Every structure is written in structure tokens, then in C-alpha cells.
């Protein structure tokens, strides 16, 4: 069987700071990383590969040419193959356009058509867009079952059982393959790449596909294929009119807090 | 022509979830601005009993699809029914809650309808120039807000962050239409199987549903220190939240993590104790109605979003706060006052 990981390269967010004046991001750290939940998706694929026989793991990403680095890292982490969708025609794609491109790649990719026993794994959401829409949209376009917010996967006789974390607990859902699953952090603890993995990744070519290669018309992807438009970006009003108290031995800070909360009807 | 505002109501375990009323409040404002009708869709089994209150909370039309197979949320099945219904009704705007259900069903339906979808909006408005929907959401980890439009495709679809608006009060006099929708049986067959639901007993109060959240960070120093957060929370009937660092240190489980890679909450009151207020944490809580912060560092970022801040040692402040709240709770007057406040809410 084939397991496909949809993997996105995102900006390393640990050092993102805001320019208070202009409302823009100051990225002290220019590194890009694999979207953290996509690392979980990849780790899950590798776990399944170890547990089952005859599994090939392919990472697919759409992004700028330098997203090759994230894919190479995926190979270092144990993916067998990786492909990148990269072309200026893809630029400006919203979640629907992105999903169309990824779905098309899954249908026509190097492995041939999506097989009847294949599994697609995604992160539940990406740290940059934070939409969590791409996984389900890809599934809808492919017309296959999807299970979201998954923290445990069991595969038996090409039937997939998943534990889905919802607001009040866990749901257990069963579905045949092919299916798409979006994973949350709880599913596993990703490992670090091995030296051998890193060496293997270094020499690997990552094939790059354009809309033409995939047989997608230019109207379906990029800005033209995107039904949504960002019309305004602004800085949220972060600061509130904070009342500050220094704690001292008088107890006034806590007394005032309690009466403040009572006045607001908060407690 | 695409016309009207439709909200996708949410049921869990056969009960209508109150987030539906929040959606109706959102939808009502938009429908009034457009002078169009507000409809609400409910998928489930035995849901007709809720139609009246849905109308009293703002809907003009309630569509109910009642079928035993719809008792539990199954994505493929729900998608098929909702896609069919929206194709028939042709609403200009479709809203659902940004819950695990809404965030799953909406991208599925949007892709089927080949239209745009904006996730997790905190503000919605109508651009009166072209009568289109203005969808505003936090972007880049809450660092900026982005306003998004769907210029051409219809319907315009958005998920709305729970707790970002208040339900309308019940209006007993309001009238509306209830339409029971039925479809041929093969629409309700699916390869998905719902095996069961296990309630999470570790969470007495779901952080996303709670009116008050008390959160702790690395400043609590140890698991024992973190117990203070739990004590304070249980005293004021609050849910417990935490930063990623507190979760990673094993002081509390992941479902309690608030922030970019955890949950988003917007309670009436958020009390942040011994946490610095990283952008990732703020992304999950800064829309809370009232924010209180306790931190020994007067320059901590958390004070930037707080309404009330105490600079000092939490190991002195929190026990004092617990003590004083306990005394208050025991006093009869304040008990009465609390119940009055609750009645109003
Ligand atoms: C991709 C990504 C996603 C992330 N997602 C999340 C997320 O979802 N949620 C999240 O919370 N974080 C997240 N983080 C981590 C985030 O960047 C911070 O590291 C984290 O929020 C810090 O946790 P903290 O405030 O508990 O710890 P710290 O930043 O160490 O803050 C501890 C605070 O306690 C105060 N303190 C210490 N002792 C006392 C005392 N005795 N009395 C009073 N105050 C005291 C200190 O002054 C300090 O401000 C994410 C990071 C990345 C890179
Ligand atoms: N450009 C992309 N390339 C590959 N996978 C993606 C891309 N965008 C999103 N995904 C996948 O979809 C998930 C959700 O992303 P998002 O909808 O952007 O929050 C991610 O965790 C990835 O698994």
C-alpha cells in the first residue's frame, strides 16, 4: 500500500515578533520548518510502515522551490519518496486551490493512481494558515472518507479505525480505505532523523511538478483558482487599558482584584 | 439566485448544542443588514423538538433532516446531505461553528460546492457596497487580523469561533417556518461506521465551553505548584488551562493546552498565572472578555492583553486570592449576589 503525507513548509514561529509600529512580522529566525503536525503525520506513516509489510511512504508538498528542504528532511525522517508542486502558477492559492492541486497530484503522481488500499495523512492544521481546511477539502475532491482530529490509528485488513478527539471526549470511527486522516499532536512523538537518513536525503533529487505536468488548467490553481481574497490586513488592538497593581503586604492588590471582578460580573 | 443566510446548527448526542444559538445571533445581524431571511439546518434524529427554540433565538426558517443514520456525526454522510440541501436552498451565506464538527463538515461541503471558505472567523459583517460578506480572522498566530471576501463564488462560507458572540435572548413571540426535509434512502447509506463515543472524564469542564478559565504556566515551577491552579479553578467553577510548557512538563494533559497548537478559548474571564504571554499562547485566549494576569515580571507580554494585572510572586498572591474567595463564598450575602448574577446570565 501507499501512504501519502501532505506536508507543508511553514515559517519557524518560535522567534516571530511583532513590529508594534507597522503591525508587520519581524522574523529574527529565517528558518522554515515542517509544519509540526505534519511531522506527526509522517511519524505515523513510518510507524505503520514498520508494523505492516509492503508500505511505501511518499511526502507531497506544494510550495516555493525551497520547500525541497522540508521534503528532504522528510526523507531523512524515513519517507521513501517526496514530490514538490512548485510553479508560479500555484502562487496565491487559497485552501481550495491548494487542495485541487494536491488532489490532482494524488491522482496522477509518480506512483500512478491513488490505489484502493491507500492512506493519506495530513496535519490537522498548519501553524501559518491555521485553517485545517486542506485535508478535508482534498478528501472531498477525491470523494473518499475522511476522519479528522485523530489521535490513534489502527489498520486491519484495509479497514481503518480511528480515535477522533472531540470537545467532550473520543469518537471511534471505522472506514474502509482509501481514506484521509488528519492527525493531532497526541498521536505520537516524532523521532529525530538518523545520520544515515540525513546522508540518504542529501543526495536525493526531489521531482518538481507544475500545473501543466499535473494536467491542471491555470484557472483552477493560483490566485485565479482561489474563490477567497484577502481584502485587508490589520493589527489587532492588543493592548487593553490594563489596571496594574504591585503586590505588597497590605493585601490591596487582591482585594481590588476581587471587587473588580465582581463589578464586571465575572465571578 | 443565492439569497439568505443559513447557519448549520450543531447537535451532540441528540441534544442541540448552545453554539447553535451563537451562530443564530451572528446570522441574524447579517440577515437584517441584507434584509434577507435567516435559516438554520439541523441534521440528526429526533431533533424536531428543538425547532421552536431555534426560531425564538432568531431563525425565520428551520430545515430539519431527521434520520436514524444522522444520530452521530459521520463526515461523508453529513456532507452529502448538506451539499444537497444547500444546492436546493441556495443561501448566499453559510455559517457553522469552528468546532471539531464545523471545521470538518464545512471544508467538505465547500469543496463539493466549489466555493471559498474562511476558517475560524471572529468578526463577520456585510460590505454594504456590494452586499458581500466580510470575514475577519486572526492570522499568523494572532499577530495580525485578516479580512477576507469571497467575491464571485456562492455561497460565501465561514466557520465562526465559538464563544466569540453571545446568543440572542429567547423571543417567545417570534414566528417562523419549520420544514422537514426527507430524501431517498440511498442518500443515507455510507461506508463509515460510528463505533462509539467515550466521554472524557478528566475534564469536568470543557475549557472551550467554560465561562471562566484559570491557566497556569512554567512559573508554577512544579506539578505541586500547578495544583494551586486546579484549586483556584474548582473554587470559582472554572476550567483549567495551561501553556505548552506546562503541558510538556507533564503537569497537565494536552486537552488543557491553550494557544496556537492547543485550544482557542474566549471565556468571560481568563486568569493567567505564571505565564509570560507568548504570541502562541495569546493566539488562543486574547479574545477573552476579561483577562487577569499575575506575574512577577512587570514587563511580561501577558500584561499587554490584560485588563487587570498584579505584579508579584504568585506563590503569595494565589493562596491569598484563594483564601479571600473562600471567605467570600462562605459569607451569605455574597452567595446571594452570585446567584443573582447567574440568574441574569
Ligand atoms: C509552533 C509553536 C506552537 C506553540 N504553541 C503553543 C501553544 O499552543 N500554547 C502555548 O502556551 N505555547 C505554545 N508555544 C510555546 C510558546 O512559544 C512559549 O514557549 C510558551 O507559551 C511559554 O510558556 P510559559 O508562559 O508557561 O513559560 P515562560 O515563557 O517561561 O513564562 C513563565 C512566566 O512565569 C513568570 N513567573 C515565574 N515565577 C513566578 C512567580 N513566582 N510568580 C509570578 N510569576 C512567575 C515569569 O515571569 C514568566 O513570565 C508554541 C511554540 C511554537 C514554536
Ligand atoms: N501547500 C501544502 N502542501 C502540502 N500539504 C499541505 C499544504 N497546505 C496544507 N497542507 C496539509 O493540510 C494540513 C492542514 O493545513 P491548513 O489547511 O493550511 O491548516 C497540513 O497540516 C498539511 O498536511
Please count the CA atoms within 13 angstroms of the CA of A251 that sit on its side-chain side: 9
**DSSP string covering B248-283:** HTTSS-GGGBBSTTSB----SEEEEES----HHHHT
Interface residue A133 vs chain B (CB under 8 A): yes
pLDDT at A19 exceeding the cut of 70: no
Ligand 1, atom nearest to B221 Cα: 38
In this structure, what CATH number is given to the domain that contains residue B325? Answer: 3.40.50.1220
Q: Quick one: pLDDT at residue B145?
A: 85
Q: How many distinct structural domains can be found in chain B?
A: 2
Q: Which domain holds residue A33?
A: 2-214
- What pairs with residue A147 in β-bridges? A181
Q: Is residue A113 part of a domain?
A: yes
Chain B neighbors of A172, CB-CB under 8 A: 194-198
Q: Residue A209's Cα: distance from chain center in Å?
A: 20
Q: Is residue B197 part of a domain?
A: no
Quick: pLDDT tens for A83-135: 999 999 999 999 999 999 999 999 986 556 788 899 999 999 998 877 999 99
pTM here is: 0.86
Q: How many helices (H) and strands (E) does chain A have?
A: 7, 15
Determine if ligand 1 sits within 6 Å of the CB of residue B244: yes
Residue A183 Cα to ligand 2 middle (Å): 12
Work out whether the CA dihedral A144, A145, A151, A152 comes out positive or negative: negative
Cα–Cα distance list, B312 to A261, B36, B219 (Å): 19, 54, 12
Chain B neighbors of A147, CB-CB under 8 A: 75
Boundary residue ending a domain (B188, B223, B256):
B188
Q: Domain check: are B257 and B336 in the same one?
A: yes
CA-closest residue to ligand 1 atom 29 = B276
Boundary residue ending a domain (B188, B222, B245):
B188
Q: Within 10 Å of residue A198's Cβ, how many Cβ atoms?
A: 15
Q: Domain check: are B181 and B217 in the same one?
A: no
Q: Quick one: pLDDT at residue B266?
A: 85
CB A43 within 8 A of CB A79: no
Q: Quick one: pLDDT at residue A23?
A: 47
Q: Domain check: are B174 and B247 in the same one?
A: no
Quick: pLDDT tens for A195-231: 989 999 988 889 999 999 999 998 999 999 999 999 9
Interface residue A130 vs chain B (CB under 8 A): yes
C-alpha cell at position A165 = 478527539
- Shortest CA gap A41–chain B (Å): 15
Q: Which domain holds residue B149?
A: 5-188
Interface residue A4 vs chain B (CB under 8 A): no
Quick: pLDDT tens for A20-64: 555 455 555 567 899 999 999 999 999 999 999 899 999 999 999
Q: Domain check: are B44 and B126 in the same one?
A: yes
Q: Is residue B217 part of a domain?
A: yes
Whether a cis peptide bond, with omega within 30° of 0, leads into A178 is yes
Q: Within 10 Å of residue A197's Cβ, how many Cβ atoms?
A: 18
Q: Is residue A88 part of a domain?
A: yes
**Which among B42, B190, B43 is positioned nearest to A173, based on CA atoms?**
B190
In this structure, what CATH number is given to the domain that contains residue A30? Answer: 3.40.50.620
Contact A229 B146 (CB under 8 A): no
Q: What are phi and psi of B45, to 5 degrees?
A: -135, 125
Q: Is residue B203 part of a domain?
A: no
CB A254 within 8 A of CB B321: yes
Q: Domain check: are B226 and B117 in the same one?
A: no
Burial of residue B68 (number of CB atoms within 10 Å: 0-12, 13-18, 19+): exposed
**DSSP string covering B129-142:** TTTEEEEEEEETTT
User: Which residues are CB-neighbours of B184 under 8 A, at least 6 positions away?
Assistant: none
Residues in chain A: 267
Residue identified by cell 447553535 is B20
pLDDT at A17 exceeding the cut of 90: no
Q: Domain check: are B61 and B155 in the same one?
A: yes
Interface with chain B: mutation pick from A26, A130, A217, highest number of B CBs within 10 Å: A130
Work out whether the CA dihedral B119, B122, B123, B124 comes out positive or negative: positive
**Which among B127, B250, B265 is positioned nearest to B205, based on CA atoms?**
B265
CA distance B178 to B180: 7
Pairing of strands B132-139, B123-127: antiparallel
Boundary residue ending a domain (B156, B188, B220):
B188
Quick: pLDDT tens for A216-226: 998 999 999 99
Q: Quick one: pLDDT at residue A130?
A: 79
Interface with chain A: mutation pick from B11, B71, B100, highest number of A CBs within 10 Å: B100
Residue B200 Cα to ligand 1 middle (Å): 26
Q: Is residue A220 part of a domain?
A: no
In this structure, what CATH number is given to the domain that contains residue B32? Answer: 3.40.50.620
**Which among A146, A135, A179 is positioned nearest to B80, based on CA atoms?**
A146
Q: Is residue B193 part of a domain?
A: no
Q: What are phi and psi of B253, to 5 degrees?
A: -80, 160
- Mean pLDDT split into 10-residue runs, chain B, 345 residues: 96 94 97 98 96 97 97 97 98 97 98 97 94 90 84 97 88 96 94 93 74 97 96 94 96 89 86 94 88 97 95 97 91 56 52
Chain A neighbors of B304, CB-CB under 8 A: 238-239, 242
Q: Which of B150, B254, B321 is nearest residue A227 as measured by Cβ atoms? A: B150
Q: Domain check: are B34 and B166 in the same one?
A: yes
CA distance B96 to B155: 13
Q: Which residue of B has its CA nearest to A22?
A: B144
Quick: pLDDT tens for A148-192: 999 999 999 889 999 999 988 899 999 999 999 999 988 999 999
Q: Domain check: are B162 and B54 in the same one?
A: yes
Residue A226 Cα to ligand 2 middle (Å): 15
Q: Is residue A254 part of a domain?
A: no
**Which among A233, A164, A198, A183 is positioned nearest to B139, based on CA atoms?**
A233
| Pairs of residues, one from chain A and one from chain B, whose beta carbons lie less than 8 Å apart | 258
Q: Which of B103, B115, B143 is nearest residue A227 as measured by Cβ atoms? A: B115
CA distance B332 to B337: 9
Q: Is residue A258 part of a domain?
A: no
Burial of residue A195 (number of CB atoms within 10 Å: 0-12, 13-18, 19+): exposed
Q: Domain check: are B333 and B249 in the same one?
A: yes
Q: What is the ipTM of this complex?
A: 0.87
Please count the CA atoms within 13 angstroms of the CA of A202 that sit on its side-chain side: 7
Residue B245 Cα to ligand 1 middle (Å): 6
What is chain B's alpha carbon radius of gyration, rounded to the nearest angstrom? 22
User: Which residues are CB-neighbours of B32 under 8 A, at least 6 positions away?
Assistant: none
Ligand 2, atom nearest to A93 Cα: 1
Q: How many distinct structural domains can be found in chain A?
A: 1
Amino acid at each position: 500500500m501507499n501512504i501519502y503525507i501532505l506536508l507543508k513548509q511553514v515559517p519557524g514561529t518560535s522567534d516571530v515578533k511583532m513590529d508594534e509600529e507597522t503591525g508587520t512580522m519581524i522574523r529574527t529566525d529565517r528558518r522554515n520548518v515542517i509544519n509540526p503536525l505534519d511531522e506527526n503525520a509522517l511519524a505515523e506513516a513510518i510507524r505503520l510502515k514498520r508494523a505492516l509489510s509492503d508500505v511505501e511512504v511518499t511526502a507531497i508538498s506544494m510550495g516555493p522551490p525551497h520547500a525541497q528542504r522540508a521534503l528532504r528532511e522528510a526523507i531523512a525522517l524515513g519517507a521513501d519518496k517526496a514530490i514538490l508542486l512548485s510553479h508560479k502558477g500555484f502562487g496565491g492559492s487559497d485552501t481550495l486551490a491548494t487542495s485541487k492541486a494536491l488532489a490532482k497530484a494524488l491522482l496522477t503522481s509518480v506512483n500512478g493512481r491513488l490505489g484502493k488500499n491507500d492512506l493519506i495523512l495530513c496535519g490537522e492544521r498548519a501553524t501559518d494558515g491555521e485553517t485545517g481546511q486542506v485535508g478535508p477539502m482534498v478528501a472531498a475532491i477525491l470523494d473518499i472518507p475522511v476522519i479528522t482530529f485523530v489521535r490513534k490509528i489502527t489498520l486491519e485488513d484495509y479497514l481503518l479505525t480511528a480515535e477522533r478527539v472531540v470537545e467532550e471526549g473520543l469518537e471511534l470511527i471505522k472506514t474502509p480505505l482509501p481514506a484521509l486522516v488528519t492527525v493531532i499532536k497526541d498521536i505520537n512523538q516524532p523521532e529525530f532523523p538518523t545520520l544515515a537518513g540525513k546522508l540518504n536525503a542529501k543526495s536525493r533529487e526531489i521531482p518538481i511538478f507544475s500545473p501543466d505536468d499535473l494536467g491542471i488548467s491555470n484557472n483552477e490553481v493560483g490566485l485565479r483558482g482561489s474563490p477567497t481574497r484577502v481584502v485587508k490586513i490589520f493589527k489587532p488592538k492588543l493592548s487593553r487599558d490594563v489596571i496594574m497593581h504591585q503586590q505588597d503586604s497590605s493585601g490591596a492588590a487582591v482585594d481590588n482584584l476581587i471587587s473588580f471582578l465582581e463589578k464586571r460580573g465575572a465571578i | 439566485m443565492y439569497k439568505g443566510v443559513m447557519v448549520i446548527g450543531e447537535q451532540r448526542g441528540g441534544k442541540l448544542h448552545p453554539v447553535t444559538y451563537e451562530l443564530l445571533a451572528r446570522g441574524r445581524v447579517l440577515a437584517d443588514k441584507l434584509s434577507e431571511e435567516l435559516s438554520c439546518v439541523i441534521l440528526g434524529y429526533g431533533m424536531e423538538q428543538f425547532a421552536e427554540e431555534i426560531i425564538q433565538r432568531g431563525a425565520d426558517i428551520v430545515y430539519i433532516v431527521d434520520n436514524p443514520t444522522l444520530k452521530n456525526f459521520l463526515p461523508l454522510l453529513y456532507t452529502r446531505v448538506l451539499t444537497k440541501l444547500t444546492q436546493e436552498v441556495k443561501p448566499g451565506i453559510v455559517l457553522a461553528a469552528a468546532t471539531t464538527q464545523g471545521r470538518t463538515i464545512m471544508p467538505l461541503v465547500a469543496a463539493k460546492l466549489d466555493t471559498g471558505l474562511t476558517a475560524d472567523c471572529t468578526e463577520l459583517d456585510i460590505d454594504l457596497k456590494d452586499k458581500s460578506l466580510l470575514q475577519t480572522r486572526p492570522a499568523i498566530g494572532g499577530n495580525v487580523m485578516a479580512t477576507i471576501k469571497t467575491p464571485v463564488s456562492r455561497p460565501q462560507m465561514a466557520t465562526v469561533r465559538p464563544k466569540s458572540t453571545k446568543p440572542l435572548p429567547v423571543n417567545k413571540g417570534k414566528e417562523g417556518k419549520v420544514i422537514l426535509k426527507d430524501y431517498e434512502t440511498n442518500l443515507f447509506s455510507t461506508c463509515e461506521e460510528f463505533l462509539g463515543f467515550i466521554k472524557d472524564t478528566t475534564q469536568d469542564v470543557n475549557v472551550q465551553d467554560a465561562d471562566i478559565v484559570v491557566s497556569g504556566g512554567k512559573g508554577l515551577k512544579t506539578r505541586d505548584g500547578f495544583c494551586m491552579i486546579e484549586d483556584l479553578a474548582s473554587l470559582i467553577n472554572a476550567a483549567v488551562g495551561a501553556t505548552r510548557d506546562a503541558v510538556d512538563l507533564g503537569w497537565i494533559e494536552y486537552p488543557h493546552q491553550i494557544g496556537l497548537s492547543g485550544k482557542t478559548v474566549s471565556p468571560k474571564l481568563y486568569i493567567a498565572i505564571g505565564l509570560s504571554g507568548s504570541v502562541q499562547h495569546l493566539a488562543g485566549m486574547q479574545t477573552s472578555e476579561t483577562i487577569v494576569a499575575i506575574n512577577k515580571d512587570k514587563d511580561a507580554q501577558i500584561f499587554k492583553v490584560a485588563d487587570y494585572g498584579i505584579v508579584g510572586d504568585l506563590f503569595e498572591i494565589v493562596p491569598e486570592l484563594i483564601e479571600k474567595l473562600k471567605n467570600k463564598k462562605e459569607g451569605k450575602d455574597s452567595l446571594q449576589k452570585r446567584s443573582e448574577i447567574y440568574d441574569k446570565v
